[in-house]
Amino acid sequence: MSLLDPDDWEAFGASAHRMLDDAIEYMRTVRERPAWQPVPQSAKEALTESAPREGQPLDAVYGAFKEHILPYPTGNIHPRFWGMVKGTGTPVSMMADMLAAAMNSNVSGFDQSATYVELETIGWLVELFGLPSETGGLFVSGGTPANMLGLLVARNARAPFDARTEGLSAGPRLRVYASTQTHAWLKRACNIIGIGERAVCEIPTDSRHRILLSELRASIAHDRSQGLVPFCVVGNAGTVNAGATDDLRALAEVCRSEGLWFHVDGAFGALTVLTQKYKAVADGMQLADSIAFDLHKWGYLSYDIGCVLVRDGAEHRAALANPAPYANNVYNVNGFASTYPLLFADLGVQLSRSFRALKVWMAFKTYGTTRLGEAIEHNIEQAQYLAELVRESDDFELLAPAELNVVCFRYKTPGKDERECNVYNAELLAQLQQSGAALPTSTILDGRFAIRVAITNHRTTFEDIDMLLDTLRRCAVGLEAQVPR
């Protein structure tokens, strides 16, 4: 008898089947619920119990889950959730996560099926991105760690001293260049890899939020004249604020001529390579030394899964591998371990790793990359449609060109100054969010508060987009009844 396995597997199976049926129903009926709702006090209180010393029946625990947890999610599986940049997940990725949990593989390496699934799926991505076969890669928990790994490999490969062994005190200060529109992962990564947030040189952008190449070149030259050491340029394929993509081909050329590492943050924009119509958006990305992107955003997989690809797999391993005698593959019968004792653990931060690759494998095989690409195309077209509705309207205005899947706009407030307009739009957005009808979030562009719709959602329809502006108008009427204009 086991202390933790069920005594009665049949009864456990009945409960588990109920949970699975409920989960499928929950997904099927998601449109009938609010896009988001605040967590009520009762649920918050229910989640402050002290540690349970004694167990209770699984069905009772599941009952508490259904009451206090399940109804109050982020909202990102809803068709009208367009906040931050969040993916929806699919029924197939839900099942893949469950099956991966059943196997409970630890994917640091070893001669086990999960190893070959990860090698195969990374290989698919290398092929789809048009990268050379020596490219190495790793699934990680998201865009932030994927980008951080790219930057770490860049640091070790391009610092003019042995940063990996000796640390940063062994050499002059390093500099990395990226546009002002780059996501906050960059400073966080600079902090974590020890080069410090001040290593980031922020380069201004043009009216389309793309890095200014002349400013980039001038900053590199200036830094060199001051004794600083440029080592990396980060290009964006889809900025978080407005979905802008830098001229990646031109950035690759700057890096080539300056001897710098070229890293691309393609957290969501990179997967435009799966489309037929928008392949050219991230043109030049295939010239990068490293690329980071998420599969839990525009890959529509369940959380969490990001990926880093490094053009020279040997450089990737050299940056991180730590052979350890206790980690040798005792099961090895084919020489595998003598080449790569740990394989995946040698490419990242995690030693123990989950079987994330299974959901890539199952989703890509079930849907095919063509269909996934079509879903991305739909989202871009829905964003273009929303931008057009805003442009044609008298009462809304665009605050940034909507070139991909992100639309930044605001309600016009004639007679109010910029500050009052910002406050008004923040209130309007809050009303919309509280209504549960839809969930865009916001950003600030050039000091202006923008309602920001980022569509990485395979459930969104064009009717959902129509509904957004109408609902905002109704919220504005409600707001005007409360707040004299």
Ligand X SMILES: Cc1ncc(COP(=O)(O)O)c(C=O)c1O
- Please state the closest distance from residue 261 (CB atom) to ligand X, in A: 18
- Please state the closest distance from residue 268 (CB atom) to ligand X, in A: 6
| 432 near ligand X, judged by CB under 6 A | no
| Nearer CB in complex with ligand X: 115/245 | 245
DSSP codes of every residue in 7-42: S-HHHHHHHHHHHHHHHHHHHHTGGGS-S--PPPHH
Alpha helices in 298-398 (DSSP H): 313-320, 336-339, 357-392
**Segment 252-311, which members bind ligand X (CB under 6 A)?**
265, 267-268, 294, 306
**Segment 171-190, which members bind ligand X (CB under 6 A)?**
183, 185
| Nearer CB in complex with ligand X: 85/220 | 85
| 85 near ligand X, judged by CB under 6 A | yes
| 240 near ligand X, judged by CB under 6 A | yes
Provide the strand spans (E) within 64-199: 81-82, 136-140, 174-179
- Please state the closest distance from residue 173 (CB atom) to ligand X, in A: 25
| 143 near ligand X, judged by CB under 6 A | yes
Provide the greatest CA pair distance for the chain: 78
| 144 near ligand X, judged by CB under 6 A | yes
| Nearer CB in complex with ligand X: 261/424 | 261
- Please state the closest distance from residue 365 (CB atom) to ligand X, in A: 24
HSE, CB side, 13 Å, CA atoms: give it for residue 241. Answer: 23
| Nearer CB in complex with ligand X: 76/239 | 239
- Which amino acid is present at 463? E
Instruction: Tell me if 274 sits within 8 A of 280, measured CB to CB.
Output: no
Residues contacting 336, CB < 8 A, separation 6+: 111, 329
**Burial call 78-95: b when 16+ CB within 10 Å, e when fewer:** bbbbbbbbbbbbbebbbb
Q: What angle do CA 379, 403, 433 make, to 5 degrees?
A: 55
- Please state the closest distance from residue 186 (CB atom) to ligand X, in A: 9
Say how many residues touch ligand X, by CB under 6 A: 15
- Please state the closest distance from residue 291 (CB atom) to ligand X, in A: 12
| 84 near ligand X, judged by CB under 6 A | yes
- Please state the closest distance from residue 473 (CB atom) to ligand X, in A: 29
In the complex, which residues of this chain contact ligand X (CB under 6 A)? Answer: 84-85, 142-144, 183, 185, 238-240, 265, 267-268, 294, 306
